[in-house]
Structure 1
């Protein structure tokens, strides 16, 4: 079986459209309804294709119960996509997971993401939902800033998936994608896609880690090659926040601290000079 076209990903966006942002993965209160878009394509280059029809969508709630969601067909940027609706009814982390079969691309794709709800209700994000190939995060997938390391374990039928290829790719909005793809093609003409899809591997225990160095939506997927049938890939999709506090804020704070130190030194010097002057005047009068 030939390797899958690995740059295709199942994109699961809880923000109603393709202009997804990290805040879309947060439900501010119980009872909030999320309209989730499911699209198929290349996240980095923002190239979409018609989404395959063979897909299943489920959610694992924070208490461990599961619910099947019924996708309905829609159109995104001229291509077939799907959408589902989910109302958050518990605090904690609801895991949305999708199974998609793409015969024309030679791949069975298992994608998982989350919706978080509740102050310090950090439960459920590392649950095993029973996908054939699945990424179990070691790192909580929210509250992560650019430059943080995402680590996890890849499983195949519940067992460690060792020595497997792990693809890491960032999603871009259409305008930005066109700009950076053009730049990559100009700067790295010998192999532009090496800049699109980053690659690492799992170790003998199925563990891996990778630094996600930019804010935005990221895909981390481990692939199991099989002797018969399509390769299977398990993907975890997560948002990465901008640096906090930002460099400008840190810089302002540092500048303020330095200014305070400088002022203290100036006043100290003036004080020493005044004392020296007084001592000199007294000495002259004694003479």
Structure 2
């Protein structure tokens, strides 16, 4: 896994040598909805590209929704549950929310710091996913001034398979130059009813290097990644938040965003 040095965290340049990245998921099957209504969000902390280990993490510190500029606290909607991967069954969380009216709904989860014992480091992630109703754009490009944040420059729910996603890595509203970003594809379809990953993968990566791909932002904190396969993709900018210590140990505050590529449909 990752090993972070305080000096490199401060510089925004982190080293990571991992075949499986940590990703705080906020998952629902479709980020583009035709109409509002009840929506279930599954939130395991895991390795989605490999159906990897589900990590036991404490209750989220914050969970809320942004809609048309209004923030709604949803932490009381979060319930502890379990999630099963190919490796184990571990603690997860879920929330049942309601989408009202047309437009974008930004869901933000601030995780509790998680101690990765193999690296003796804490990881805290600021994750967001954006669910749109009715194809009416409203808040998708909103900048929330989070400690660690990926601000999309492309609608994260209106992407074609083979298209590209562009975002800016920011910390408290300021771009993070040359931020290191891990990318994973949700390769094992989540079973919403059974709270588990599917047994069979969607694709077979040609090598371990394709399980967790690593890219870097430019000098302005901007990055672009082409999405070769339909489905949901996660982007995690490592250690870009301002806090670097927790309980006397190193802390990596990461920014996570989820996007969905759609297949190109022929007549």
TM range (shorter): 0.7 to 0.9
Aligned partner (choices 144, 168, 176) of residue 200 of structure 2: 176
Structure 1: runs of 5 or more not aligned: 15-20, 250-287
Does residue 91 (structure 1) correspond to residue 102 (structure 2)? The answer is yes
Q: Aligned Cα RMSD in Å?
A: 2.2
Alignment match, 2:21? 7
Contact 1:43 1:172 in 2 (8 A): yes
Q: C-alpha separation between the residues in 2 aligned to 1:65 and 1:159? A: 22
Using the TM superposition, give the Cα deviation of residue 223 of structure 1 relative to its aligned residue in structure 2, in angstroms. Answer: 1.7
Does residue 155 (structure 1) correspond to residue 157 (structure 2)? The answer is no
Number of residue pairs matched by the alignment: 226
Distance 1:72 1:227, change over 3 A: closer
SS at match of 2:201: helix
Does residue 140 (structure 1) correspond to residue 164 (structure 2)? The answer is no
Contact 1:161 1:224 in 2 (8 A): no
Alignment match, 1:280? none
Cα deviations by residue, 1:209-229 (Å, 9 ceiling, x for unpaired): 111111111001212356544
Contact 1:39 1:48 in 2 (8 A): no
Structure 2: runs of 5 or more not aligned: 5-15, 117-121, 189-197
Using the TM superposition, give the Cα deviation of residue 86 of structure 1 relative to its aligned residue in structure 2, in angstroms. Answer: 1.1
Using the TM superposition, give the Cα deviation of residue 178 of structure 1 relative to its aligned residue in structure 2, in angstroms. Answer: 9.4
Contact 1:45 1:172 in 2 (8 A): yes
User: Map of 1:1-287 to 2, 5 A cutoff?
Assistant: 2-3=3-4, 7-14=21-28, 21=29, 24-30=30-36, 32-55=37-60, 56-61=62-67, 63-69=68-74, 70=76, 71-77=78-84, 78-105=89-116, 106-118=122-134, 120-173=135-188, 174-177=198-201, 180=204, 184=206, 188=207, 192=208, 194-224=209-239, 228=245, 229-245=250-266
Distance 1:205 1:148, change over 3 A: same
Larger radius of gyration: 1
Contact 2:64 2:73 in 1 (8 A): yes
Higher relative strand content: 2
Contact 1:54 1:102 in 2 (8 A): no
Q: Which has the higher contact order (CA 8 A, sep 6+)?
A: 2
Moved more, 69-78 or 210-219: 69-78
Contact 1:27 1:88 in 2 (8 A): no
SS at match of 2:92: strand
- What TM-score, normalized to structure 2? 0.78
Alignment match, 1:253? none
Using the TM superposition, give the Cα deviation of residue 75 of structure 1 relative to its aligned residue in structure 2, in angstroms. Answer: 1.8
- What TM-score, normalized to structure 1? 0.72
